[in-house]
Structure 1
Amino acid sequence: MKNQNQSDIFITGIGITSAIGKGKTAFTSALMQGQHAFDVMQRPGRQKKTSFIGAEIPLFPFPEHFSKRVLRTASFSGQVAMITLQEAWDEAKLDAIDPSRVGLVIGGSNLQQRELVQMYETYQDRARLVRPTYGISFMDSDLCGLCTEQFGIKGFAYTVGGASASGQLAIIQAIHAVQTGQVDICIAMGALMDITYWECQALRSLGAMGTDRYAKEPAMACRPFDKNRDGFIYGESCGVVVIERADFAMRRQAKPYARISGWAIGMDANRNPNPSCEGEVGVIKKALEYAKISAQEIDYINPHGTGSIIGDEIEIKAIRDCQLSHAYINATKSITGHGLSAAGTVEVIATLLQMKESRLHPTRNLEDPIESSFNWVGAESVEHDIGHALSLSMGFGGINTAICLENTK
C-alpha cells in the first residue's frame, strides 16, 4: 500500500453472483468476453401471459456447512446473499476478526417481491396455513438475520434503500461506519431484488424497462448508450465488498483491490423517475473534490448506463459537463443486465476486476452511440491500466451517488 495514510479506506474482499457467472473468476471471464444470459425469463412469478426479457442466475449448489433448515425457509434473495457473502468473507479472511467489530450494510428495499406474490397466490384462500416463518421472512431485515446468523456478525446490520443506487449507497454507508470507528470492517452488499411480473409491467409502463421490440431477439435488447436502446433489461445479481481502514488492513496483511478515494450522495428533490443533469454533475464534482483529483486524472468511468431513453442522454451530458469525455467508458449492464438494488455494488466490483486485469470489458450492442465523440469501449475488450476510476449510480426518487477508486498496484 504505497504512500497511503492510515485512515485511507480500502476494499479487501469481493463476492459476486450474477447470471453470467457465480464467483469472481467466472464473472471476470464472462465480462471480458462479453458473454450474456439474456432470454425470456422463466423463473416462476416473472411472467403472466407476458414475455419479459431478462438474465436469470442458474441453479447453484450451497456449501455443505450452510444450514439446510435455514436454506429451506430463506427467500431466493436471502440464499443468493449468503452464498455471495461467503466468497467475500473467505477472501478477506474474516473468520479471524472479532465478530463484534464487523458490520453489515445491505443495499435495497422491497427485495423479495416475487416470494411475497407467490405466497399470496398460494395461500389467498387458506391464510391460516401460512408458515409461521413468513412473519420474519417478509421483511427485508430478514436478509440481515440470515447473514449475521450464518457468519456470526455481531457488530451491526441494517438495510438502506436508494432504489437503483442502493448498492452504491450501501458502500458509502459502510465507509462512514469504518471511518467513525463503529467497526473495524464493514461489509457492503447490493442485494438481489427479486421482482415479479407486477414490477416488470409497471416499470415498462413508466417507460423505464424495455418493451417487446426485441422479443424475438433477446440478445439485442440490452443496449445502453445506443441510439436504438429501448429501456433497461433486468438482470439478477448480488455483489459484496469488504471495506476497512488502511491501518487495520496493514496489521493483518490484507491485500487491497483499490483505495476508495472519494464519494458523494446528492438528491434532486424529485420523487419521480426522471433524472437530473444538475444532480448528477453535483455528485461527480463532490466526489472528485473529496478525492482531491482533477477530472483529467479520471481515466475510466463505469456509468449508471441502463439503456433508458432519457437517462442515458442525461448521464452523457453530465459526464461532458464535468469535462470527463476523455476517459474510457463501457457499460457493465450491457452484459449483466440491470440488477436494480444490486447494480451499484456489482459495477464497483466490475471496476475493481478490470483494474486487476488491466483490461476493460466490451460494451454489448453499442452499434450507434448517442455521442460518437466519447472514448467508448466497443465490441472488443481493451487493454488499459486504470489509475483513477469513477463509478456512478442513480435511483428513482432523485438519488445520485458517485465513488472514486484509486489503483493501489
Structure 2
Amino acid sequence: MNKRVVITGMGIYSCIGTNLEEVRQSLFEGKSGIVVDADRLDFGFKSPLTGMVPAPDLKKVLSRRQRISMGEESEYAYMATLEALHNAALSEADMLQREVGILYGNDSVSKAIVDATDIAREKKDTQLIGSGAIFKSMNSTVTMNLATIFGLSGVNMTISAACASGSHAIGLGFMFIQQGLQDLIICGGAQEINPYAMASFDGLGVFATDIDHPESASRPFDKRRTGLVPSGGAATVILESYESAMERGAPILAEVLGYGFSSNGGHISTPNIDGPAKAMRRALEQAGIKPEEVDYINAHATSTPIGDANEAKAIMEVFGSRPYVSSTKSMTGHECWMAGASEIVYATLMMQHGFIAPTINLEEPDDDIKELNFVSSTITQEFDIYLSNSFGFGGTNSAVVVKKFNHE
C-alpha cells in the first residue's frame, strides 16, 4: 500500500524570519540572521556568533499550567506549528475529530536540566525544582507538550538523531502515511539556542572564528570557511495522505516522493562520502526517479572544512554537476536538530515561488569540488524536484526528495 504523501501546511520560526513570508523574503534577498551574542563572551565562548531567535510571548495564548512544562524549544515548536496548522486549513476542532500524529526532531534540553540542577544544588530541596521541570527536561518535551496542547491521538514520538533529527522525523512521517498507518502527522524539528546548549560545541573548536563580520562567518563550500555558526528555532511540516487532503479540500503545497537513510559506521564526528551517497541513492530509489530528474539540492553543508568537502564529493558521485546546489545555512547558521525540517520549508518555499536561494559568502569553492553547480547569488528558476540532505554526529544520514504537486 504505497499511498501518496503530500505537504499541506508549513510553519517556521527562525533567525531569518518568524513566519513564512518573512523567511521567503530573507531567502530571496540572501539575508543573514547571524549576530554576535555578547552574553556568550561573558560565558567563556571562543565564538559568540549565533542565529538569534526572539522569545515568543505565549501568555495570551496558553495557560500558565500549559506554559510551565514548556522549555525554549517547545515554545518555538508551538509557534511554528500554529502557523503550519493555519497554513493547512486545520482548526483545533478538526484535529480533535480525527487521529492526528506528531513526529518531531529534538536532541537536547540543556537549559531545562541546568536550571533544575542549579535549584537543587542551591536549595538542597528537590521539591523546589517545580512541577513542570521534568516535562521541560525530557528529550521528548516538544512532542509531549504539543500532543497535549492540541489534543493529538495518533503516533507520538520524538526523533533524536543529532543534526538529522528533523529530516528523519519527516522521513518517518512519510513512511507511516505511505504505508497507511496514519493519514495526518505534524512533523518537524526544534533547537534551543541558549549558551548551555552550545558551550560543549564551542569547546570542540568547531565554530566559525570571524566574529568581526558575523553576516559572512557562515560560508559553506568556500575555501576560507572556518567552522559552523550555531542557530535554532523550529519548523513544522504537515504531512497528509493525498486522499485525506483531497477529501477535506486542503491546500497541497508539494508531494514527498522518497526518504533515504544510512549510517557511516565510522568516526563519531567526522563525516565520510559513502554514507551520504548511500542515503541519497536510497531516497532516489524510493522516489522512483533518476538522478538527472533532481533539479536542486539543498545541501547539509554546515561550513566545516571536511563536512562540506565530503558532501560535495558525494553529490558529485551520485548526481554529477547538473543540479543546482546551495546551502541555506550560509544565512541561518546551523539550526542543528531543527535543520532537517527547516530546510524542507526553505526549499519548498523556493519551489513554490520560482527561485533558488544562494549560498551567500561563497566566493571560491575548494579546488576539488568547484565543478558542482553552486548557486552563490539568488537565481529566478522554476524547478519541479529537489533533494534535501541532513547529516549528524554518530554518522546518521537522511535525504528527502520532494516534488512540486500535480494531480496526475
Q: TM-score range by the shorter chain?
A: over 0.9
How far apart in 2 are the matches of 1:21 and 1:382?
21
Q: Is the 8 A contact 2:385 2:403 kept in 1?
A: yes
Aligned 1:16-95 pairs, distance under 5 A: 16-42=12-38, 48-50=43-45, 51-62=47-58, 64-95=60-91
Deviates more, 1:171-180 or 1:278-287: 171-180
Which shows bigger deviation, 186-195 or 215-224? 186-195
Distance (Å, rounded) in 2 between the aligned partners of 1:333 and 1:35: 11
Q: Equivalences for 1:213-232 in 2 at 5 Å? A: 213-232=209-228
Look up the match of 1:276: 272
- Report the Cα distance in structure 2 between the residues aligned to 1:342 and 1:139, rounded to whole angstroms: 17
Q: For 1:333-352, what per-residue CA distance to the aligned partner results, in whole angstroms no more than 9, with x for missing partners? A: 00111110000000011010
Per mean C-alpha deviation after superposition, the further-off stretch among 187-196 and 397-406 is: 187-196
Structure 2: 5+ residue stretches without partners: none
Residue 73 to residue 280, structure 1, CA distance change in 2 (3 Å) = closer
TM-score of the superposed pair, with normalisation by structure 2:
0.92
Q: CA 1:37–1:252 in structure 2 vs 1: closer, same or farther (change >3 Å)?
A: same
Identity of aligned residues (%): 29
Distance 1:124 1:224, change over 3 A: same
How far, CA to CA, are the matches of 1:63 and 1:157 in structure 2? 26
Native 8 Å contact 2:2 2:178 kept in 1:
no
- Residue aligned with 1:132, SS: coil
Supply the distance in 2 between the matched residues of 1:179 and 1:374 (Cα, whole angstroms).
33
Q: Find the aligned partners of 2:135 and 2:64 in 1 and give their Cα distance.
A: 17
Unpaired runs of 5+ residues, structure 1, are none
**Residue 203 and residue 116 in structure 1: after superposition, are their counterparts in 2 closer, same or farther (change >3 A)?**
same
Note if contact 2:52-2:193 (Cα within 8 Å) is conserved in structure 1. no
Distance 1:158 1:98, change over 3 A: same
Conserved in 2, the CA contact under 8 Å of 1:6 and 1:245?
no
Tell me the alpha carbon deviations over residues 127-155 of structure 1, each in whole angstroms, 9 at most, x when there is no partner.
Answer: 41221321332112232222112211111
In structure 2, what is the Cα distance between the partners aligned to 1:392 and 1:46? 32
Q: Please give the alpha-carbon distance, in whole angstroms, between the structure 1 residues aligned to 2:29 and 2:269.
A: 32
> What is the Cα deviation at residue 207 of structure 1?
4.6
Determine the C-alpha separation between the residues in 2 that align with 1:63 and 1:242.
25
Gap change, CA 1:253 and 1:318, over 3 Å in 2? same
Which amino acid in the other structure matches residue 293 of structure 1? I
Q: Name the residue aligned to 1:156.
A: 155
Cα distance in structure 2, aligned partners of 1:16 and 1:165: 17
Q: What letter matches 1:147 in structure 2?
A: L
1:286 to partner: Cα distance: 1.2
SS in 1 for 2:164: helix
Name the counterpart of 2:164. 165
Taking the aligned partners of 1:144 and 1:200, their CA distance within structure 2 comes to 22
- Structure 1 residue 200, shift from structure 2 partner: 3.3
| TM-score of the superposed pair, with normalisation by structure 1 | 0.92
The residue matched to 1:214 in structure 2 has which SS?
A: coil
Deviation (angstroms), 1:219 = 1.7
The amino acid that maps onto 1:184 is D
The offset of 1:99, in angstroms, is 4.8
Q: CA deviation at 1:193?
A: 3.5
- Distance in 1 (alpha carbons) for counterparts of 2:2 and 2:311: 35
1:344 corresponds to which of 320, 329, 340? 340
Q: Quote how far apart the aligned CAs of 1:228 are.
A: 0.5
Q: Residue deviations 1:278-332, cap 9 Å, x none?
A: 1111111111111121111111010101001100010010011113321111111
